[in-house]
Amino acid sequence: MPRYRLDLEYDGRGFHGYQAQGELPTVQASVERAVKAFCGEDVRLQAAGRTDAGVHALQQVVHLDLEKAWAPAVVRDALNAHLVPQPIAVLAAGLAPQGFHARFSAKGRRYLYRIVNRMAPPTLDQGRVWHVKKPLDAAAMAEAAKILVGHHDFTTFRDVDCQSASPMKTLDLAQVRREGPEIWLAFAARSFLHRQVRSMTGSLAEVGAGRWTPEDLRAALEARDRAACGPVAPAHGLYLAAVDY
């Protein structure tokens, strides 16, 4: 039974996240229905990770097993045809190597968070960025972000409903840079806690707005207390940017 790896891109608006949830619209359920329409098989996708409602993906990786061996290009094109008009695309499809698992074979995940920092509201990117009117100091945010890099207890930036067995995570990358009116925050780690990126982003925005200092961020991290977290950034500015294998 051949195993296929699919790289997905999707706009998270209108979906209750990636993971199938009964009759609610989700990315997983949509792709599984497309597989059924394509080849008549009922499959269960395995993904590199879940994304919350409203979160987007530039590269979500999933795998599925099919009874018949199809050319990868046929799988890609057929699924894309059956996904129309939903905002989901199969960017690439390929035969997975022996033992490949979309989740357990992953060596790292990378996230991007986009903030539009200007008075005027976004139009073309409405629903795809966090609009912050107050000027943000991206350099101060970048300096504070260095505090988060490394192996820490991230309880402060962990959602209360997080199901991870431990709050200990190693953050390999936390970078902030300004791109014109936008501020981009990039994070990389082997794995993340539930809403960790949005929690860290919201607290870094407090630094950028001048309400926190970098030392306030350090104190929040060291508090290991969810109550010490700043406001959580909204879902619609977050992208699963890439999965590393």
215 Rama class: left (phi>0) / alpha (psi -120 to 50) / beta: alpha
C-alpha distance from residue 61 to each of 50, 139, 148, 232 (Å):
10, 33, 26, 26
Say whether 72 sits in a helix, a strand or coil. helix
Q: How many Cβ atoms from other residues are within 10 Å of residue 133's Cβ?
A: 11
Please name which of 7, 42, 8, 5 lies closest in space to residue 27, comparing C-alpha atoms: 8
Residues 146-161 as b or e (16 or more Cβ within 10 Å = b)? ebbbeebebbbbbbee
Instruction: Point out the catalytic residue in the list 7, 11, 42, 52.
Output: 52
Q: Are 47 and 62 in contact, with CB atoms under 8 Å apart?
A: yes
Cis before 167? omega within 30: no
Q: Is 52 annotated in the active site?
A: yes
* H-helix segments, the chain: 27-39, 72-83, 138-145, 196-208, 214-223
Please name which of 214, 208, 223, 49 lies closest in space to residue 152, comparing C-alpha atoms: 223
**Cα–Cα distance measured from residue 98 to residue 118, given in angstroms and rounded to the nearest whole number:** 49
Distance between alpha carbon 24 and the CA centroid of its chain, in Å? 20
Residue positions annotated with a catalytic role? 52
